[in-house]
């Protein structure tokens, strides 16, 4: 495949990307096929008792903050998470309810923050990809001019060709990473919903 074909393919890919299409004008830099939902709705993941002041007080409890950190980490298996939830909520009914609210409040805050961080990162990469596509387009035009010049400089042609090949590979690699990372916000949604169900089941 020639550099010209590679460059044209990359630009076409950039134009066809979700970010370039900007299906939702509110989020012009959102690069994922999945619709952007800026924050998880509490009602969508929690049907337990009202959290009340637990929304702010969970940070004051060292045991809760440590458990929130463990459960919110995607590397923690869900069966291990369930065991930890059961152990933490073992106790009297009143203690169980209070602890359940603190725990879920912490998970809701923490996972929402993780999700926002991932989404902001995706939009930053999307902007950089758009800039990279523009640069590749400009350099493709410059290369074509060099190739068609009456006094062609083969050294310059080769140098720019190699640079375009390298930039094309970087662009394509980043697109692959973006497609993978686009799944992360949904995975966080699902994890928070599952953890919420675990906690609520212990209250039933």
pLDDT digits (tens, 9 = 90+) for 74-110: 999 999 999 999 999 987 777 899 999 999 999 999 9
DSSP class of residue 134 equals H
Q: What is the pLDDT of residue 10?
A: 53
- Cβ neighbors of 151 (< 8 A, separation 6 or more) are none
Predicted structure pTM score: 0.80
Distance CA 187, CA 192 (A): 9
Q: What is the pLDDT of residue 18?
A: 46
SS3 helix, strand, coil % of the chain, rounded to 5? 75, 0, 25
Distance CA 189, CA 185 (A): 6
Q: What is the pLDDT of residue 14?
A: 52
Distance CA 58, CA 17 (A): 41
Helix/strand/coil for 153 = coil
The closest alpha carbon to 133, from 170, 162, 160, 176, belongs to: 170
In the chain, which stretches have pLDDT less than 50? 1, 3, 5, 9, 12-13, 15-19
Return the number of other C-beta atoms located less than 10 Å from residue 88's C-beta: 19
Q: What is the pLDDT of residue 154?
A: 82
Provide the token pair at 117: 């961080």
């Amino acid at each position: 495949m020639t550099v010209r074909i590679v460059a044209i393919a990359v630009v076409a890919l950039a134009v066809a990307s979700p970010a370039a299409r900007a299906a939702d004008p509110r989020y012009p830099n959102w690069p994922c096929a999945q619709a952007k939902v800026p924050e998880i709705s509490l009602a969508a993941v929690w049907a337990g008792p009202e959290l009340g002041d637990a929304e702010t007080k969970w940070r004051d409890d060292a045991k809760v903050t440590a458990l929130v950190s463990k459960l919110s980490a995607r590397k923690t298996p869900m069966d291990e998470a369930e065991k930890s939830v059961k152990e933490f909520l073992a106790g009297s009914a009143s203690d169980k309810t209070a602890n359940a609210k603190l725990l879920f409040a912490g998970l809701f805050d923490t996972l929402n923050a993780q999700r926002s961080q991932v989404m902001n990162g995706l939009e930053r990469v999307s902007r950089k990809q758009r800039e990279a596509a523009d640069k590749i387009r400009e350099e493709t035009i410059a290369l074509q001019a060099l190739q068609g010049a009456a006094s062609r400089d083969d050294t310059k042609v080769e140098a720019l060709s190699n640079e375009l090949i390298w930039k094309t590979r970087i662009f394509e690699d980043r697109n692959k990473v973006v497609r993978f990372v686009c799944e992360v916000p949904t995975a966080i949604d699902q994890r928070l919903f599952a953890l919420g169900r675990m906690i609520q089941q212990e209250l039933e």
